[in-house]
Each structure stands twice: as C-alpha cells, then as structure tokens.
Amino acid sequence: MICAAAAILRQRMGVQSILQISSREGYVPETAVVGTTVRVSPNPQAESLQVLVSDEDLKPGMPPATYQYILTGPGATIFAVDQRGFLYLNAPSIDADPPNPSSYQLNIQAREVDTVPIRSSEPVTITIHVIDINDNPPQFEQPIYTVNVSTFGDERPVVKVSSRD
C-alpha cells in the first residue's frame, strides 16, 4: 500500500523514473584499483552492485531512454556508475586506514538525457564500506630485542610486542 501511494505521489510530482538497486550497502577492498566494481557483500565473488532505472512513462515500442547518473555526498568523486548501472571505483586507489573514512554514503539519482523538461528519479542512498586489508608492515620501537631467560625461572611474560594496521 505504501509503495503504491509513493508511486502515485511520484507521478503527480512529475517523477517518472524509479531507481532500483540490488543492495543499499556495497563493499570494495582497499586493494581495489580504478574500475573495480562495488560488491553487494564482502565476499569478492559476490555479484556487483547495480543501479537500474524503471521508467514508468515509456510505452511499448518507444525507444529506450538514456540516463545520466548523478552522485552526491562524500565519495561522489571516488565512485561512479557506468551506463549499465554498475557502481565502480573511479579513483586510482582507496584506503581504509586512518585518517581516511572506512565507509562512504552516496546519493544516486538518474536523470534522463535529451528530454524537455528534464526528468529525474528520486535519489537513493547507498553506503559503501571499504574493506580494510592488513597492508601495513608492523612497526617496532627498536630494530632488535634481546631477552635473557633462566632455565629454572617461574612462568612469566618475557617480552610483549604489539602492532596495528
């Protein structure tokens, strides 16, 4: 009932195009290179996140409309949508290590090309998570640690070493 009411409201407002997305969350590893598609789960074998346009004003026999995808929000220049609707990394690299963000919220809107008046879909928001990869070598305070242990000593910690990515 709510979906039908929203569709009627969109028609009254003149919005004929509706975005359909395969997931509201996407994942990309920080080792990704430009052109890597965003996935619908952290699994690298998962399907790519896709944005499709459902155009209610196209009648049978009419030529298909061409759409331009408009991205806004943090990361709008880092990601892009191709003509098939796949969301992909549009930067040479991406990093999840501080001070960089580990996720981005993008607002995506489809706009018909070469139409008067210009018709656009309502924007949808997608959260893209950057999967952190342990890609930084451990750093130690000293290059060499020397420890002496007696054979008959009580059990106790000898040395503590920590590292973080």
Enumerate domains of the chain plus CATH numbers: 17-131 (2.60.40.60)
Cα–Cα distance measured from residue 124 to residue 82, given in angstroms and rounded to the nearest whole number: 16
Which regions of the chain are under pLDDT 50?
Answer: 1-13, 15
User: Nearest 5 degrees, angle CA 85-CA 100-CA 108?
Assistant: 25
Q: What is the full DSSP assignment across 88-129? A: EE-SS----STTS-SEEEEEEEEEESS-SS--BPPPEEEEEE
d(CA 102, CA 25): 13
Q: How far apart are the first and last CA of the chain?
A: 49
**What does pTM read for this prediction?**
0.71
In sequence order, what DSSP letters do the residues of 43-61 get, joined into one string?
STTSPBPBEEEEETTPPTT
Q: What is the pLDDT of residues 44-62, one digit of tens each?
A: 999 999 998 887 776 778 7
What pLDDT, on the 0 to 100 scale, is given for residue 124? 94
Residues 6+ apart with CB under 8 A from 127: 24, 25, 26, 103, 104, 105, 106
The CA–CA distances, whole Å, from 48 to 23, 40, 150 equal 9, 6, 58
Q: What is the rounded distance in angstroms from the CA atom of residue 67 to the CA atom of residue 73? A: 20
Identify the pLDDT of residue 133: 84
Which helix (DSSP H) or strand (DSSP E) does residue 7 occupy?
Answer: helix 2-12
Percent of the residues in the chain that have a pLDDT greater than 70, as a whole number: 85
DSSP string, 27-39: EEETT--TTPBPB
